[in-house]
Copies of this chain bind each other. A is one copy, B any other.
């Protein structure tokens, strides 16, 4: 029984009038730099809304960790959360933990259904590769196609409980993922390891071994975190500061 697609709602688009989506978009894409102080009136003005919906969006993003309390005051002033390699590792690791644990469930599926999912994942990965192969891949498309691959797994295997957690984590994840592809390119690092790991996931899903599926997914996310960390280091060295 495939769960409903659940409408990705990731910051590909930012519908005007949806304060949360717009603000998420601004933070994920870096239009609001880490450390930037945000005030409700200023943001309301910028988004063309009143304080009420903007305030709600800010509170939600604070729960999701994209905004953090700033300044020593009692009343919380808020700022865009800093980017932090250790936090990125924790986010990737935890994503792998949740996604992997849910995906163990494929071992109880009939082989046909596993085959169908494996095929869909292979197709999703192909679309990802097609974008990544380009000389200068469109960051938004790259992000979207990679996200689609994993989202497919989540949609089909996660419980509503872990899906909710993954969605919440997804905001932070998206923030790091947004820079992931471009940083790899900048650092001259290849996409090939990702292809291989995605293929391992596909094969494991088809085989139906719970341990293999979980291992493959967790490895993918753990390694992705290390690749990102490495890319950041190299880019730092190449550019000078970060």
Q: Which residues of A contact B (CB under 8 A)?
A: 52, 56, 59-60, 63, 65, 87, 90-91, 93-94, 97-98, 101, 159-162, 164-165, 168-169, 172
Contact = CB atoms under 8 A, between A and B. Distances in A.
B87 A97 contact: no
A164 B65 contact: yes
A165 B169 contact: yes
Nearest to A84: B160
Nearest to A88: B161
Contacts of A165: 94, 165, 168-169
A89 to B, nearest CB: 9
Contact of A160 (B60, B87, B159, B164): B87
Contact of A94 (B56, B65, B93, B162): B162
Copies of this chain in its oligomeric complex: 2
Residue picked from A63, A65, A94, most chain B C-beta under 10 Å: A94
A218 to B, nearest CB: 10
A225 to B, nearest CB: 12
Contacts of A87: 160-161
Given A56-B56, A98-B97, A165-B168, A159 B90 contact: yes
B161 A94 contact: yes
The 9 closest A-B pairs by CB, nearest first: A90-B161, A90-B159, A165-B165, A94-B161, A97-B101, A94-B162, A91-B161, A65-B164, A56-B59
Nearest to A92: B161
Contact of A59 (B60, B168, B172): B60
A191 B9 CA distance: 44
B90 A94 contact: no
A161 B65 contact: yes
A204 to B, nearest CB: 19
A91 B165 CA distance: 11
19 contacts: A56-B59, A59-B60, A63-B63, A63-B164, A65-B161, A65-B164, A90-B160, A90-B161, A94-B101, A94-B159, A94-B161, A94-B162, A97-B97, A97-B98, A161-B169, A164-B168, A165-B168, A165-B169, A168-B168
A97 B100 CA distance: 11
A59 B97 CA distance: 27
